[in-house]
Amino acid sequence: MRRFTPAVLAALTLTTALTAVPAAQAHTARPALGFDRCTAGACHFDVPPGTYDVTVLLGGETASSTAIGGETRRSLLPETAVPAGERVARSFTVNVRTPEGEPTGPAGTPGLDLVLGGSAPALADIRVTPARHARQIFLVGDSTVCDQPGDPYAGWGQQLPQYLRRGVSVANYADSGESTVTYLGNPQLWATVEPQVGRGDLVLIQLAHNDKTTDEATYRANLETLVVGVHARGGEPVLVTPIVRRWFNADGTLNNGTALLVNGLGVDHPAVIRSVAAAQDVPLIDLTARTKALVESLGVAGSKALYLYNEKRDNTHTSVHGATVYAGLVRDELVALHLVPRGTVRVG
pTM score = 0.90
pLDDT number for residue 48: 96
The residues, any chain, with a CB within 8 Å of residue 310's CB and separated by 6 or more, are: 304
pLDDT number for residue 26: 32
Answer whether 125's CB lies under 8 Å from 82's CB: no
Tell me how far apart the alpha carbons of residues 13 and 32 are, in angstroms, rounded to a whole number.
9
Q: List the beta bridge partners of residue 238.
A: 204
Sequential DSSP letters for 205-240: EE--TT-TT--HHHHHHHHHHHHHHHHHTT-EEEEE
Q: If we measure between CA atoms, which residue out of 241, 258, 290 comes closest to residue 298?
A: 290
The residues, any chain, with a CB within 8 Å of residue 306's CB and separated by 6 or more, are: 246, 294, 295, 298, 318, 319, 321, 322, 325, 326
The residues, any chain, with a CB within 8 Å of residue 233's CB and separated by 6 or more, are: 194, 195, 197, 198, 199, 201
Please tell me the total number of residues recorded for the chain in this structure.
Answer: 348
Mean pLDDT, 10 residues at a time, the chain of 348 residues = 34 29 37 80 96 97 97 97 97 97 96 97 96 95 98 98 97 98 98 97 98 98 98 98 98 98 98 98 98 98 98 97 98 97 88
Tell me how far apart the alpha carbons of residues 344 and 162 are, in angstroms, rounded to a whole number.
11
Answer whether 56's CB lies under 8 Å from 90's CB: yes
The continuous run of DSSP H or E covering 159 comes out as helix 156-159
**Strands 33-34 vs 38-39: parallel, antiparallel or unpaired:** unpaired
Tell me how far apart the alpha carbons of residues 224 and 232 are, in angstroms, rounded to a whole number.
12
The b-or-e profile of 115-147 (16+ CB within 10 A means b, else e) is bbebebbbbbbbbbbbbeebbbbbbbbbbbbbb
Tell me how far apart the alpha carbons of residues 231 and 229 are, in angstroms, rounded to a whole number.
5
pLDDT number for residue 218: 98
The continuous run of DSSP H or E covering 92 comes out as strand 88-96
